Amino acid sequence: MALMRSLKTGAKRSPARKPGVAGAGKVPGTDVGIPRTTKLFAALSDKHGQVLVDLVADSFGMSKIQVVETAGISRTAMYKPKRLQSPKAQWRMREMLEIVSRVSEWAGGMNQGMAWYRAEPIPAFGGRTAESLVKDGKAAVVRDYLDALAMGGFA
């Protein structure tokens, strides 16, 4: 919980924004834009950039099995640590965290963002949740949907 509070209070909106990247700001003293999800990834990753299931589970108050299943990774991956470090598993974890991070601002926090991700039916996709779309490899359509909402579109 303390991690969520520190992420929430540490996040600042930068006036300099990169077109097409919601919440992007500039690194002080450079021209490099960074997405707002970088803090979340940094807080939940090791020094090599691998998302750590243990930290994600602790941060969201979930079991490790719930986290991997929510990200669309097989439950059996928990029994072979190399599977959790595979590019596919890491990609799925990053997609999940990116979407949760993007909705957390208007959902009321990171835990509420995860609740939205897991349970809120999206009318534009026939009532499917973001979780079910990510599990089917369609995270890009969820991101496009969130971009459209951020630009003033309707749900």
In a domain, 77, yes or no: yes
Question: Whole-model pTM above 0.75?
Answer: no
DSSP string, 55-120: HHHHHHT--HHHHHHHTT--GGGGG-HHHHTSHHHHHHHHHHHHHHHHHHHHHTSHHHHHHHHHH-
In a domain, 142, yes or no: yes
Contacts of 153 (CB under 8 A, 6+ apart): none
In a domain, 131, yes or no: yes
pLDDT of residue 41: 76
pLDDT in tens, 86-119: 999 999 999 999 999 999 888 888 999 999 999 9
In a domain, 83, yes or no: yes
pLDDT of residue 37: 61
pLDDT in tens, 35-79: 456 677 788 888 888 999 999 999 999 999 999 999 999 988 888
- Domain total in the chain: 1
In a domain, 118, yes or no: yes
Task: Give me the domain span that covers residue 96.
Answer: 2-150
pLDDT of residue 48: 87
In a domain, 82, yes or no: yes
In a domain, 155, yes or no: no
Which two tokens mark 133?
A: 């779309």
d(CA 109, CA 124): 23
In a domain, 20, yes or no: yes
